[in-house]
Structure 1
Amino acid sequence: MATMTSIVLLLLASPLCATIVRSPAPPMGWNSYNSYSCNPSEAIIKLNAEGLISTGLKDLGYTLVTPDCGWQNQSRDAQQQMQWNATLFPSGGEALGKYLHGLGLRFGLYSGGGYHQCGSYDLPGSLGYEEIDAKTFAAWGGDSLKYDNCFSTSNDTMVDNDSEEAQSPARFEKMAASLDAQSRDFQFFICQWGIGENVGDWASQIGNTWRMSNDIYNAWRSIWRISNQVVPYYRNTRPGAFPDMDMLIVGLDALSAEEERFHYSMWAINKSPLLIGAKLDSTLPAASLKTLSNQDVISINQDPLSKQARLVKRYTEEEWDVWLGELSENRQVLGIANWRNESQSVELDLRSIGIGEANAKDVWAAESLGSLQRNLTIDLTAHEMKLLLLTNITAPQVPFESTGYYPASNASLSGSATLSTCPNGTCHPTGLKAADIGQDASITFRSIKAKSSGSKLLGVDFINYDYATTTAWDWGSNTRNLSVEVNGGQSKRWAFPLSGENWYETGRLSIEADGFVAGASNEVVFRAVGNSSAPDIVGFEVFE
């Protein structure tokens, strides 16, 4: 298992960007925010740092300790340097850094690229003071900097999701360059919230991690929201660059034990940092500590390939997903996610995800399942993610093969739906998309070929960048729904996640649609669901 005490230097390709120090695997550690909000203290930090050691979590790789918002004084000193709140942190930052280093831990710092810190109207941010603050952070012995995005445009607006300035990489690039100018190595954790376009493209170039969503909160539905938003960032994830799905809510009495394992699994396979937010004292439930201590799941997260899992199949009405991730040594991790509020038994044809046969280990049950072949039946409890570690993987002897691709440009559009030409190199693979698919619209594909009757695997090329910002606090899900109807039969609903980082980047979701007949006379109709818009459609491919 790779540990977070090792670091590598990765030089950025662009000479205009600062070089930074990156961890080769997602950072692991503890952050004060989820349990203490913007009210950390020296005693709190020391208590939880010692908790990492007494629980054995430090030895598993959790080595970074970060006081989040609220640590500093209201004013800078005569040299314009930030100061620690002497009441909350009487020993100061340099002493705290030495204390943590003495325990074999690393010292994480927090600031923001705005006028004030998040959660406060009087604690200074780093905007305009980047060089001074970077030098100060280095003098304190800091090892990383979480850099937030509050008050980015004014002194009195804490959260601005929409302005060009709030979405711009400029403030983060300035701090990255300032950190790079220091003699001390720093990891840079961008907390921009995933607003604007192409965030993963620029943030992965200057940051070790980047927050790709609004905050997590203590509810099961936030797991669904963030899981749908992380989907397209596999394009940016690599050693030294990781999508940050936010701090863990394991141990906060927000989820059931099964839901905590689901949450931890989803973060792990998507190569998110594993940053504990619970209090590491006697109140931490034993089941939560066991979840956080699972070495197999940690190894999946810390795998040296650093490849994010992919959402390869979805069954929306049945409420389960299939995630598949590549690991080192020719292994894969298979995640079967049950979003349903009750138990269910599901069946998966391994050929549909490119696997013929494999040996499997049930990670959470810690038991071998032997050889898996073709049709896999999985029993899932409510809100369970079954994690299977696959080895000795072979390709299917009779793989699924494409029987045709059907672009939206060849479909009949009705209602509000329009055919749009995309900028060069976008809307893969055709450069065109059916957009504005509202409640009165439909996209009808005719003369669809099928070798036989029954259910078919469809690879739907779609575009959805309807990401949740303010709606994240309610029921925002980062999905758009689409109904699929074959030959006038019963339509089914599918929830499509984000496809990319703008409205021209295509994603593919594999679904199963029933009702086909043998021959070339099949008709497939896509529609929006309810009063909401559907994702844009580039086309779809049929596999048999």
Structure 2
Amino acid sequence: MHLVWSFQVFLIGLANSAALKPRIDNGLAKTPPMGWNTYNHYACSPNEAIVKSNAKALVDLGLDNLGYRYVTIDCGWTIPDRVNGSLTWNETNFPSGFPAIGQYIHDLGLLFGVYEDAGIRSCQTDIEQAGSLYHEAQDAALFTSWKIDALKYDNCFSDEATGYPNVNYEPSTSPQPRFANMTKALAAQNRAVLFQICEWGIDFPALWAPALGHTWRIGNDIIPAWRAIWRTLNQAVPQTSFAGPGQWPDLDMLEVGNDILTIPEEQTHLSLWAILKSPLVIGGALKDDLTSINKDSLAILSNKDVIGFNQDSLGKSAELKRRWSEEGYEVWSGPLSNGRTVAALINWADETRELTLNLPDIGVQFAGRVKDIWAGKSVQNVKTSYTSTVQPHGVMLLELDDTIAAGSYSSNDFASVNGNTYTFESIYANTSSSNHAIVVQFASATKKSSLKITDSLEQITKTVSVPASQKSVSAKLALSAGGDNKLVIESPNTIKSIEIQTPAGKYYPCTEFSISGSAKIETCDSGFCKPTGSKLSYINSSNKGSANVQVTLPASSKNETILKYIEVDFTNNDIALSTSWGLGSNSRNITISVNDDKPVRLEVPLSGKHSELFGPGKGWWDTSTLGLLVGGWKSGDNVVVVGNEAGDDSFQSYGADFVGLKVFD
């Protein structure tokens, strides 16, 4: 190899005081960077007039004051060969030269970004362009002389061992060393530069990119189609925990304003990119001789609440909380500064619907204020759930403040009181079961007495003894899945609040399942496929696993459909790289059926937190968990079948690998 400075040397160097420090230490990207880039609208055909016009529009439209400050010239600015060994700009397209256009951008109060490639040339276009491989120090010095503020660094024509192909999704070695070379070269310059690693998620860069750059692309390019939002979010799921000040997973540039998506789709696009703490880089034309951004898209990009979620000082990404695959919606949520919470409910369906967010799905029981961002309204004192109309492919984006944690119900907020009788409403349960626990908290130490609890499911009144000098007392009770339960408590002692605790549940590892067809149990290395250490693979509509599960149904459920909450542990690292231009989705199905009832389908995202090329188990040993409600139960013995009943009709006939499941009974 001709690399002058290997990644191994970089790692050794980090151990001593003279070592290059992680990029976070140069003071940049404390929040996700924001700006504008030429690529999504102009592809690899930018020119000086386009850049100047759009940069000026950032200022004229007030977008710079909202944080959009980096102006990056993407591919197409350079020429095929170096001049006297140096990169140079295309003089036809950029007659004033790059130092001059950089000065123009700086004079507007903006920041100047350029694009280059870690290979011998940049990615294939109609115009051949020189890359930076073996010229990192030289190019970093040149860029610094132009006073750049950001470098987007791509990964084409870079794998020497396979003959420098344009794009190689299965390179012979990790791309890490090439990016480390440019990291070192930039650090040697007397200028802080935002370094954006564009490796397309080939080698799970979340594990190494934060030490080298400020942002890293999590996957292949976004495409001008709605399906790219689904594909990108599925790839983002295992990377959300890596986001933080100075290190941001990059979901790629925004298509907002490119007249590709509907207005609700653009709202969803920006909302999820914002709350996942992706850089917000406008990819649409703001202003040129032919195009001006439409007012609706401009209003979306200018939404101060959404930008505020992205730029929040806490720097925590939202995470996928629940997914209803058959019903076509899902919920993401995460913390904000000052005790606030952000939540997004995506409507994947092609129709307008009223959808309900159960607040406990995001860890909240009560919110003193809920701000519905795109609906433009605020609601006070929201208990247990919030319902709103969501347009096709739109999003319910909420900011919740003054919240109480899930499971806690104060008498002031949830109960009506008549003498010694407290009627608590809007009680939530994740599963239908007689094994929920209630803890009654009293306002002061009790007198010896008793209280009576009647639940709305079994409608059985239980008498609970209350010893003297107690602040609380507990009992079991029956609740139905959902947020419409009601409890009536008769108590001579003043009740301050109640706490509802979900059943502990029982875990069933894949090793306890009987196998049919060609499905098989695979053993994972120690510390993987948690908590089982094994997984059931090659699941489809014919190859399945089944187990006997004992449950107890509430007494009043003989003629009712009882829904049990199940958490499924799975692995999936079917990364859509080569298929991302088409129907690749980064997802696989898994189905659960009980006693031959209709299978419930869960389309799971990626779980892999290691490289699909070089990591342990190629990323297929990393477990993730999602919950779902399943019906078909009876008291006693139940046959639970794990398969992929939808497999023949889906993009991938094999399902996700199954590690185990917990039944909350």
Alignment match of 2:180 (pick from 173, 179, 198): 173
The SS at the match of 2:320 is strand
1:116 is the counterpart of 2:124: no
The answer on 1:100 being equivalent to 2:109 is no
1:542 aligns with 2:650: no
Q: Secondary structure at the match of 2:364?
A: coil
Tell me, yes or no, if the aligned pair for 2:607 and 2:622 is still in contact at 8 Å: yes
Q: What CA distance in whole angstroms lies between the structure 1 residues aligned with 2:364 and 2:501?
A: 8
3-state DSSP class of the match of 2:314?
Answer: coil
Stretch of structure 1 that moved more, 292-301 or 211-220? 211-220
The whole-number CA distance in structure 2 between the counterparts of 1:229 and 1:297 is 22
The alignment status of 1:499 with 2:587, answered yes or no, reads: no
Q: CA deviation at 1:13?
A: 6.9
- Alignment partner for residue 288 of structure 1, among 274, 297, 302? 297
Q: What are the superposed Cα offsets for residues 421-477 of structure 1, whole Å, 9 maximum, x if unpaired?
A: 212221122222112223421121322435546112222111100010121111111
Unaligned residue ranges in structure 2 (runs of 5+): 1-12, 409-499, 610-618
Structure 1 position 480 matched with structure 2 position 588: yes
The yes-or-no answer on 1:517 pairing with 2:638 is no
Of 222, 247, 257, the residue aligned with 2:263 is 257
- Report the CA distance between 1:482 and its aligned residue: 1.1
Q: Which residue of 2 aligns with 1:381?
A: 391
Judge which range, 125-134 or 341-350, deviates more: 341-350
Percent of aligned positions with the same letter in both sequences? Answer: 42
Q: Does residue 446 of structure 1 match 2:548?
A: yes
Amino acid paired to 2:634: V
Mean alpha-carbon deviation: is it higher for 290-299 or for 375-384?
375-384
- How many residues matched? 529
The answer on 1:349 being equivalent to 2:358 is yes
Deviations 1:202-238 (A, max 9, x none): 1222121111111111111111111111111012111
Correspondence 1:290-305 to 2 at 5 A: 290-305=299-314
For residue 324 of structure 1, report the CA deviation from its aligned partner: 1.0
TM-score by length of 2: 0.77
* Cα shift readout 1:37-73 (whole Å, capped 9, x = no counterpart): 1111111111111010000100000000000001112
Using a 3 Å threshold, how does the CA distance of structure 1 residues 518 and 349 change in structure 2: closer, same or farther? farther
**Secondary structure of the corresponding residue to residue 273 of structure 2:** helix
Contact 1:403 1:449 in 2 (8 A): no
SS at match of 2:179: helix
Distance in 1 between residues matched to 2:189 and 2:261, nearest whole Å: 42
- Match among 338, 358, 379 for residue 369 of structure 1: 379
Q: Unaligned 5+ residue runs, structure 1?
A: 1-11
Alignment partners' CA distance in 2, 1:289 and 1:317: 34
Higher Cα Rg, which structure: 2
2:169 to 143, 161, 172: 161
Q: How does 1:7-26 map to 2 (within 5 A)?
A: 19-20=22-23, 21=26, 22-26=28-32
- Counterpart mapping for 1:242-281 below 5 A: 242-281=248-287
**SS of match in other structure, 1:240:** coil
Q: Secondary structure of 1:151's match? A: coil
Match of 1:335 in 2: 344
| Cα deviation, residue 345, structure 1 | 2.4
Instruction: Provide closer, same or farther for how the CA distance between residues 311 and 450 of structure 1 changes in structure 2, counting only shifts above 3 A.
Output: farther
Equivalent AA in structure 2 for residue 340 of structure 1: A
Range moving further from structure 2, 244-253 or 148-157: 148-157
- 1:156 deviates by 6.1
Contact 2:74 2:114 in 1 (8 A): yes
**Residue in 1 that maps onto 2:598:** 490
For 1:352 and 1:451, the matched residues in 2 are separated by 23
TM-score normalized with structure 1 length: 0.93
Deviations 1:496-526 (A, max 9, x none): 000123111111112221223345x233211
More off after superposition, 198-207 vs 173-182: 198-207
From 203, 209, 219, the equivalent of 1:203 is: 209
Q: Secondary structure at the match of 1:494?
A: strand
Q: Secondary structure at the match of 2:521?
A: strand
For 2:190, the aligned partner's letter is S
Deviates more, 1:278-287 or 1:371-380: 371-380
**Letter of the aligned partner of 2:622 in structure 1?**
E
* Aligned-partner Cα distance in 2 for 1:324–1:216: 23
- Report the Cα distance in structure 2 between the residues aligned to 1:267 and 1:294, rounded to whole angstroms: 13
Moved more, 293-302 or 320-329: 320-329
> Distance in 2 between the 1:64 and 1:230 partners?
23
Equivalence map 1:391-402=2 (5 Å): 391-395=401-405, 396-397=407-408, 398-402=500-504
Structure 2 SS opposite 1:522? strand
- Residue 200 of structure 2 aligns with which residue? 193
Structure 1 SS opposite 2:505:
strand
Name the counterpart of 1:9: none
AA of the residue aligned to 1:357: F
2:46 matched to which residue of 1?
Answer: 40
Two-structure CA RMSD over aligned residues (Å)? 1.8
**What are the Cα deviations for residues 92-147 of structure 1, in whole angstroms up to 9, with x where unaligned?**
22222222111111111110111111134731101111111111111110111100
